[in-house]
């Protein structure tokens, strides 16, 4: 089963979306478990130290006498660079003050002196504590890895499932395009053959010839889309392409003032794709122009600029979006096609406004023929 580029792109994006949600959820659970398990380890150590202070029979703990600070409290877990520790009072049978200590065996009463600053420090080595925490984290990391693999499998299945409606829609679209291509073949071939038999250079015949070539170009592009073939690169003249489409649009929009000043640049790229870019840009400049407006086409260095008057653009940052329209005219796909084709040809584009004038600039340095550069 052949998967098209658009399907691959959709599948990858869906997979990344599902997997990102799952992995974020797993990371939150991992963080929460580490926090809870760390607190559980500390609490167990605290309870064991507390029990140890009643009998001093555990080799894991160390006992020493220190001076208690006023801010320190008995039987509270403290931590320093060397150990976890707690403070216990020194037993004093001569004193009547009693401290009640809860233990697994029940409550134990310990006589002590509240005025005696000297206390026991029961400590647990920081190295041993860190080792326990590390073992716990390693165990949870293995769990995270296991569930992460499960998340990958689940994300792949979910992405594949969500891809099915898209695949069905694409198949319907492809069948529709195939029917159009099939139905266009015969009349288009007939028109091309008849035009080749006509030697006339009259303006009307040339316009028909250009229109037919444009339809043929769209026919080839549709066929290439279905086959997902890379377009053939070839050398051609920039001024020949521009002048041909200017001659095509001029009689259709004879109320516009055309100013074409271009120098000859020899380009090396997908000719049909570049023709579609010029066609769509000029079509857009004509359709959304003003009464008695203007269109200026010029080349400065390696930059081709198409400038036209207009009634203004409300959202210039959205003009290359698919189906975006400033008004009810058109389908909103012309500049989107320009955007995609420029990307495939590595032609940088720039859309800008000067007042209400629209300027589209194409940087052609990446597609200029080496032959032209050597000249």
DSSP assignment of 17-39: HHHHHHHHHHHHHHHHHHHHHHH
Q: Please report which confidence band the pLDDT of residue 333 belongs to, taking 50, 70 and 90 as the band edges.
A: low
Q: Does residue 225 belong to any structural domain of this protein? A: no
Residues 152, 241, single domain; the answer is: no
Cα 47 to Cα 44: distance, rounded to the nearest angstrom: 5
Which residues constitute the domain of residue 345? 231-374
**Last residue in a domain, options 116, 134, 157:** 157
**Residue 139 φ/ψ, nearest 5 degrees:** -65, -45
Residues 252, 362, single domain; the answer is: yes
Residues 13, 153, single domain; the answer is: yes
CA atoms within 13 A on the CB side of 106: 2
Mean pLDDT in residue range 254-275 = 87
- What does the pLDDT read at residue 345? 86
Residues 244, 346, single domain; the answer is: yes
Give the total number of structural domains in the chain.
2
pLDDT tens-digit series, residues 184-227: 766 767 776 776 677 666 666 766 776 776 676 666 656 655 55
Global confidence as pTM? 0.51
Name the DSSP class of 221.
H
**Last residue in a domain, options 125, 157, 189:** 157
- What does the pLDDT read at residue 370? 60
Residue-averaged pLDDT of the chain: 81
Q: Does residue 202 belong to any structural domain of this protein? A: no
pLDDT tens-digit series, residues 81-124: 999 999 888 765 555 566 655 555 455 555 555 666 788 899 99
Cα 281 to Cα 95: distance, rounded to the nearest angstrom: 99
């Amino acid at each position: 089963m052949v998967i098209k580029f658009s399907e691959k792109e959709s599948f990858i994006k869906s997979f990344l979306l599902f997997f990102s949600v799952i992995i974020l959820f797993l990371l939150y659970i991992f963080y929460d478990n580490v926090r809870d398990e760390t607190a559980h380890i500390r609490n167990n150590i605290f309870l064991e130290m507390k029990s140890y202070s009643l009998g001093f029979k555990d080799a894991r703990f160390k006992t020493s006498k220190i001076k208690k600070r006023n801010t320190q409290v008995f039987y509270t877990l403290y931590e320093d660079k060397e150990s976890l520790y707690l403070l216990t009072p020194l037993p004093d049978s001569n004193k009547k003050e009693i401290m009640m200590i809860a233990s697994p065996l029940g409550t134990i009463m310990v006589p002590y002196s509240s005025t005696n600053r000297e206390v026991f420090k029961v400590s647990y080595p920081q190295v041993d504590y860190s080792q326990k925490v590390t073992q716990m984290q390693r165990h949870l990391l293995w769990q995270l890895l296991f569930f992460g693999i499960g998340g990958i499998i689940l994300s792949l299945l979910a992405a594949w499932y969500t891809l099915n409606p898209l695949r069905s829609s694409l198949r319907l679209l492809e069948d529709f395009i195939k029917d159009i291509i099939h139905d266009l073949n015969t009349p288009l071939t007939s028109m091309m053959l008849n035009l080749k038999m006509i030697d006339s250079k009259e303006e009307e015949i040339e316009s028909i010839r250009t229109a037919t070539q444009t339809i043929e170009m769209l026919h080839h592009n549709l066929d290439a889309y279905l086959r997902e073939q890379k377009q053939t690169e070839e050398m051609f003249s920039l001024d020949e392409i521009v002048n041909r489409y200017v001659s095509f649009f001029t009689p259709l929009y004879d109320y516009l003032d055309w100013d074409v000043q271009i120098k000859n640049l020899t380009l090396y790229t997908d000719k049909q794709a570049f023709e579609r870019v010029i066609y769509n840009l000029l079509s857009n400049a004509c359709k959304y122009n003003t009464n008695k407006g203007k269109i200026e086409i010029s080349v400065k260095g390696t930059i081709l600029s198409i400038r036209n008057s207009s009634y203004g653009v409300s959202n210039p940052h959205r003009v290359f979006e698919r189906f975006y329209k400033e008004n009810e005219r058109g389908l909103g796909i012309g500049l989107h096609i320009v955007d995609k084709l420029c990307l495939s040809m590595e032609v940088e584009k720039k859309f800008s406004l000067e007042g209400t004038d629209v300027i589209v600039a194409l940087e052609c340095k990446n597609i200029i023929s080496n032959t032209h550069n050597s000249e």
